[in-house]
Amino acid sequence: MVVIAAIALGLWAGVFIMGFYHGIFDQKISDVISTEVSHLQFHQPNYTEEFDVKLDIPGANQLLDVLQKDSRVKQVAARTLSMAMLGAPKGNLGVKVNGIDTLAEAQIRGLDQAVIEGEFLAGIRQNPVLISQKLAEKLQLKLKSKIILQLQNQSGEITAGAFRVAGIFKTINVMYDEANVFVLQSDLQNLLGMPGGMHEVAVLLHENDQVEAFTTEMASKYPDLEVKSWMDLSPGMRYMVESMDTMMGIILSIILLALLFGIINTMLMAVLERVREIGMLMAVGMSRMRIFFMIILETVMLSLVGGPLGMLLGFICIAWTGHTGMNLSSYSEAMEQMGYSAIIHPSLAAGYYFQVAAEVILMALAASIYPALRALKLKPVEALRKI
């Protein structure tokens, strides 16, 4: 029972920790796609390196029409972008100005749902701006506060425009909030001196697994444009995705290594407690090889009972917390600084359970060898005299 309980509890902890980290990764990926970059984006070549306002997309409206008619596309939005200096009475900050179509942005990344005060670029007659709660706190701004956006227009001249705060938003990513402000697309186009100019077309697909194929298809269809998927737009996320299996393997290895030594210790104690019984079996003629396999079989059978039980407990916990979510609001400030949600929904793909099952069997075989070898070294006469 001790071995069964040790294996079950160890695997329950290991499976649940894997599900927890998998849930964090899935949540982060979902947030990056929905809030920041969508599934893929179109730009002029080199725009993402230079952010030159002159590099607007030629024929952007025609591109939008084609994408909107594609059955794989859920939503598409075109944006006018510029780097600017935000001036306020309490200080200045460099920001990225996003000129947006409010209807399209509400559908593609739900920006209207992130507004916590005021309205989504409405309620101000001229030049409304949406800023983050973080910026508002840092620069001591409130609704209807006046700010100045100073930027370089298409002609290369420095120009500036006065805007009033129409709303304040908040996402789970503090760094993103602090770096971005949102204005009406027409207002930014007028300020840049490029009516109709668009620098970015963002696309959200119905299915996540279509992204790579769709990106490759669009890249070949529009060779004059730079088409990048969300993993290329956010290299840190690509690294996270590629390293996720490695991290899961490390977590599982640590848990299994601890179980390995626990099983070895327990089975070794079981062998030493049954020295007389093993000696009796040897004395009546049982071969050492049969005793060896008897110890191995016992360990494997115990693992086959404790392993599924632990995985079942882990599955139940992951399914329950995945549905209800784990509220880590007490750590929300630290998590938001890193761009993670305070509500985690653990999840684990079925393939990991099969991987765990296979590794548990191998671990049980490995753990049983040393106790079995110790049993083989016993001498029948000495074992029978053991108290």
pLDDT one-digit tens code per residue, 16-56: 888 888 888 888 888 888 888 889 999 999 888 888 889 99
The pTM (predicted TM-score) of the whole model is 0.75
Same domain assignment for residues 246 and 189: no
Same domain assignment for residues 178 and 61: yes
pLDDT score for 336 = 61
pLDDT score for 384 = 59
Q: What span, in angstroms and rounded, lies between the C-alpha atoms of 242 and 69?
A: 33
Say yes or no to pLDDT of 381 above 70.
no
Say yes or no to pLDDT of 169 above 90.
yes
Q: What's the pLDDT tens digit per position in 49-92?
A: 888 889 999 988 899 999 999 999 999 999 999 999 999 888 88
Q: Which amino acid is at 98?
A: N
Same domain assignment for residues 7 and 145: no
184-188, 296-300, 348-352 — which one is most confidently predicted on average? 184-188
Q: What span, in angstroms and rounded, lies between the C-alpha atoms of 11 and 352?
A: 12
Cβ atoms of residues 305 and 312 within 8 Å: no
pLDDT score for 380 = 63
User: Residue 66: inside a domain, yes or no?
Assistant: yes
Same domain assignment for residues 128 and 205: yes
Same domain assignment for residues 8 and 102: no
Mean pLDDT of 247-264: 77
**CA distances to 22, 112, 274, 315, 318 from 349, in Å:** 9, 33, 42, 10, 11
Query: Which of 156, 190, 224 is the last residue before a domain boundary?
Result: 224
Q: Helix, strand or coil for residue 17? A: helix
User: Residue 37: inside a domain, yes or no?
Assistant: no
Q: What are phi and psi of 164, to 5 degrees?
A: -120, 140
Range of the domain at 344: 2-29+238-385
Of the given ranges (70-84, 154-168, 242-256, 315-329), which has the lowest mean pLDDT? 242-256
pLDDT score for 127 = 92
Same domain assignment for residues 292 and 193: no
Query: Which of 197, 224, 251 is the last residue before a domain boundary?
Result: 224
| Alpha helix segments (H runs only) across 69-206 | 102-108, 133-139, 174-179, 185-192
User: Residue 90: inside a domain, yes or no?
Assistant: yes
Domains contained in the chain, number: 2
Number of H helices and E strands in the chain, helices first, is 15, 12
User: Residue 34: inside a domain, yes or no?
Assistant: no
Which residues are CB-contacts of 378 (< 8 A; sequence separation ≥ 6)?
275, 278, 279, 282
User: How does residue 382 score in pLDDT terms, banded at 50, 70 and 90?
Assistant: low
Query: Which of 224, 253, 271 is the last residue before a domain boundary?
Result: 224
Same domain assignment for residues 153 and 273: no
DSSP 266: H
Same domain assignment for residues 64 and 104: yes
User: Residue 38: inside a domain, yes or no?
Assistant: no
Supply 38's token pair: 């969508």
Query: How many other CB atoms are there within 10 angstroms of residue 273's CB atom?
Result: 9
Question: Could you tell me how far CA 369 lies from the centroid of its own chain?
Answer: 40
Same domain assignment for residues 24 and 63: no
User: Residue 311: inside a domain, yes or no?
Assistant: yes
User: Residue 313: inside a domain, yes or no?
Assistant: yes
Q: What span, in angstroms and rounded, lies between the C-alpha atoms of 111 and 122?
A: 13
Same domain assignment for residues 60 and 24: no
Same domain assignment for residues 249 and 109: no
Say yes or no to pLDDT of 275 above 90.
no
User: Residue 351: inside a domain, yes or no?
Assistant: yes
Same domain assignment for residues 123 and 70: yes
